[in-house]
């Protein structure tokens, strides 16, 4: 496969999306932060982390609150150095209430393939545990597990 740096092709954009999904499903803030430039700028809901240290702090707090987190991302569109994705993830809070969070992200990459800008819009839907659709063991989504479109999401 070609290097996962701009300019993207459909194949490299899809691979970049899967790598991002795998990283986030690791729930390892340090590992995830390495996909972003040193000065990466985010908008995540109403938070605006800048740089890897703030990204690590943000993700640490997120995964301390969003328990049993499982994520699926899907390519929506791409250009030479930008990728748009839609995603859904399931998690529960400390009280055991389950949620499915839906969203869209817009990514911009530098010449080295590091994400320099990430804009995320996310909505949370409370669900019953019986409504969950993401049942794989914590970690990487297994090959062959349905994606968002396959699940009707």
Note whether residue 148 is domain-resident. Answer: no
pLDDT value at residue 127: 98
Q: Kindly state whether residue 2 falls inside one of the protein's structural domains.
A: no
What local confidence, expressed as pLDDT, does residue 3 receive? 72
Counting the structural domains of the chain, the total is 1
Per-residue pLDDT band for 44 (boundaries 50, 70, 90) equals very high
Residue 125 has a CB neighbour count (10 Å cut-off) of 12
Q: Write phi, then psi, for 92 (nearest 5 degrees).
A: -130, 160
**Is the whole-model pTM more than 0.85?**
yes
CA gap 53, 110 in Å, rounded: 19
Structural domain containing residue 20: 10-131
| Per-residue confidence (pLDDT) for residue 2, from 0 to 100 | 57
Whether residue 31 lies inside any domain: the answer is yes
Residue 139 lies in a domain: no
Number of residues in the chain: 153
> What residues pair up with 91 in beta bridges, in sequence order?
99
In a domain? residue 143? no
- DSSP class of residue 142 equals P
Q: What percent of the chain has pLDDT over 90?
A: 98
Mean pLDDT for the stretch of residues 63-81: 98
Residue 26: which residues within 8 A CB-CB, separation 6 or more?
A: 32, 139, 140
The predicted pLDDT at position 60 comes to: 98
Closest C-alpha to 22, from 145, 136, 140:
140
Residue 75 sits at φ, ψ, to 5 deg, of -60, 135
What are the C-alpha distances in Å from 103 to residues 3, 41, 81, 119? Answer: 27, 18, 21, 10
Residue 21's domain is classified under what CATH number?
A: 3.10.450.50
Residue 45 lies in a domain: yes
For residue 152, being part of any structural domain is answered with no
Pairing of strands 82-92, 98-109: antiparallel
Residue 33 lies in a domain: yes
The pLDDT value given to residue 87: 98
């Amino acid at each position: 496969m070609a290097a996962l740096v701009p300019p993207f092709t459909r194949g490299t954009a899809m691979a970049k999306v899967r790598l991002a999904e795998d990283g986030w499903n690791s729930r390892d803030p340090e590992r995830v932060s390495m996909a972003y430039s040193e000065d990466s700028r985010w908008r995540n809901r109403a938070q605006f982390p800048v740089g890897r240290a703030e990204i690590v702090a943000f993700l640490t707090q997120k995964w301390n609150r969003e328990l049993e987190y499982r994520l699926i991302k899907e390519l929506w569109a791409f250009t030479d150095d930008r990728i748009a994705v839609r995603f859904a993830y399931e998690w529960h809070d400390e009280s055991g209430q389950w949620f499915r969070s839906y969203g869209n992200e817009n990514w911009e990459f530098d010449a080295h393939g590091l994400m320099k800008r990430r804009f995320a819009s996310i909505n949370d839907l409370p669900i019953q545990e019986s409504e969950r659709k993401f049942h794989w063991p914590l970690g990487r989504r297994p090959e062959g597990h349905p994606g968002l479109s396959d699940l009707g999401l």
